[in-house]
Structure 1
Amino acid sequence: MRFTVRDALAVVAGAVAPFVAALLLLPLRGSVTPTNTALVLVVVVVAVSALGNRPAGALAALSAALWFDFFHTRPYQSFHIQDRADLVTALLLLAVGLIVSQLAARGRTLGRVAATDASHLERLHGTARLASLSTSSDDVVRRVRAELAEILELRDCRFEYGTLTGRPPRLEPDGSVRVDGWVWDLELQGWPDGATELRAVAHGRYQGRFLLTPAPGAVPPSLEARLVAVDLAAQAAAALDDDRPVRA
């Protein structure tokens, strides 16, 4: 899994935001019960989790419990808790914060997955519509090349009609990548050197291949994205005439 700049900022927020919130609540310490203070800190944990990630949410929950203890339980400015009720509140703050942070992060992940699935589905449907309306298989192949370049983050994507020269790395129908007959660990090793072959096959008939050249430093696409790429290539193959080469 990639750890982006946004993820790093979220982790920092997870450590700092509860501390700042606990400080801002200090003037209200005498008029607001510890339980209500803990509820406010839970809101901070949820905000960090929803905007960040699971590690950030977990850190925010731990930070909230610690600074609640330090600033809002007796003896103040100490990590010792004198009152049993405050101890229970602090432990509940930690437990609830951890649970809510994971639920919020999961909801964010599911939302992102749903958006990705919808995008992939639109790509497939859009290509299928073009194939049904267009009289030229060239148009379909050009559309698939553009979709592949975007979904796989490619620097270049070209199509070769009916050729099988050389033994480049190959993107297989199951989404795996093979190099010289061996399965290549794409997630761990990144794209293999050079162009990767994606064959366009429909109804068992080979029509050509797409040669995929990733952009420098491109993150390997997810398995789902690779499977969508395979389906797009199959749509291009179905649109091709048996005899006519594609002008690409």
Structure 2
Amino acid sequence: MDMPRGRSFAWLVTHRPLVVGVAVLLPLAACAVLSVFRDSVPNTSSALGLVLLIVAAASTGIRSAGLLAALSSAVWFDFFLTEPYNRFAITDQADIETAALLMLVGAAVSEIALWGRRQQARASLEQGYLDGVLRTAAAVSAGQSSTESLIEHVCGQIVELLQIDRCRFDPGDGPVLATIEADGTVKYNAHPLNVRRLGLPTDTEIELVVQSHGAIHGRFLLTAATSVVRPSQQQLRVAVTLANQVGVALATNTDDGNEGQPSTSS
């Protein structure tokens, strides 16, 4: 059975020294073997084979593996496959250009592979956000859980999403210094706060209003006191969406004549 992509990448990162070592040694072994056939195999063909090794090293998503594979390929291509042989010197202009291209290809492919890894991680994260919202929305629409358990569930999701310390539901509307706005921005003492640079406030609870169709049904009070966390605006907007799902449930309960709003924390 194939190893899932996430687990395979985690294995590569965990075994980084081994991966980097293999990336460095494979070009050496390949050039040593190719040197036996250098009279019959043109250097352009040998260089293409080395490019495949560089691409394989770069595809691990470890920048140092791709770059060192390229450097190793250029060095051993020079030593084994260019005149004067078995010396670190190149006299032919075409061979100099080939060695330089090996380095450039290694750098380019490594950066492309890293970009792909980042895009994959971002897509996976966004899918996780969407799945969380959809599960909560499904629970609200189907009435599968009580209001208390829904609030507890959403509190847990917000804590995990924003990597904060605590979340609690408060039916009141007392003054707070920090608030998360509907568009995912944060205000501190009524002034916009650059969360990506400064992080969420650690000296006060942060208000996340619970509302439905413009009507406020309480709020979540978030605590991020033990460490500075810097969630993206997208993460904060997901938190707003989750809170508003609770607002829908509370609005439904109010319409049904149940106006009690429980207090819970996570």
TM-score range, shorter chain: 0.7 to 0.9
**Structure 1: which 5+ runs fail to align?**
1-5
Give 1:239's aligned residue.
249
Contact 1:169/1:197, CA 8 A, preserved across alignment: yes
Write out per-residue CA displacement over residues 22-80 of structure 1, whole angstroms, 9 at most, x where no aligned residue. Answer: 33335323325544543444344334433335x547744763464245534334443x4
Give 1:150's aligned residue.
160
**Structure 2: which 5+ runs fail to align?**
1-11
Once the two structures are overlaid, the 10-residue window that deviates more, 93-102 or 204-213, is 93-102
Report the RMSD for the aligned CA atoms in angstroms: 3.1
CA distance in 1, matches of 2:153, 2:195: 25
Identity of aligned residues (%): 29
Partner of 2:36, secondary structure, is: coil
Give 1:3's aligned residue.
none
Give the CA deviation at 1:237.
1.1
CA distance in 2, matches of 1:157, 1:240: 18
2:172 counterpart of 1:166:
no
CA distance in 1, matches of 2:123, 2:155: 24
Residues paired across the two proteins, number: 239
CA distance in 2, matches of 1:51, 1:222: 27
Distance 1:27 1:185, change over 3 A: same
Distance 1:68 1:227, change over 3 A: farther
2:205 counterpart of 1:189:
no
2:43 counterpart of 1:30:
no
Write out per-residue CA displacement over residues 172-213 of structure 1, whole angstroms, 9 at most, x where no aligned residue. Answer: 222222111222222222221132221112211111111122
Contact 2:201/2:225, CA 8 A, preserved across alignment: no
Distance 1:27 1:46, change over 3 A: closer
Distance 1:67 1:188, change over 3 A: farther
Q: Give 1:70-219 correspondences, 5 Å limit.
A: 70-72=78-80, 73-75=82-84, 76-78=86-88, 80-134=89-143, 136-161=146-171, 163-194=172-203, 195-214=205-224, 216-217=226-227, 219=229
Contact 1:42/1:64, CA 8 A, preserved across alignment: no
Give 1:225's aligned residue.
235
Give 2:58's aligned residue.
49
Contact 1:22/1:71, CA 8 A, preserved across alignment: no
Q: TM-score, normalised by structure 1?
A: 0.80
Distance 1:98 1:153, change over 3 A: same
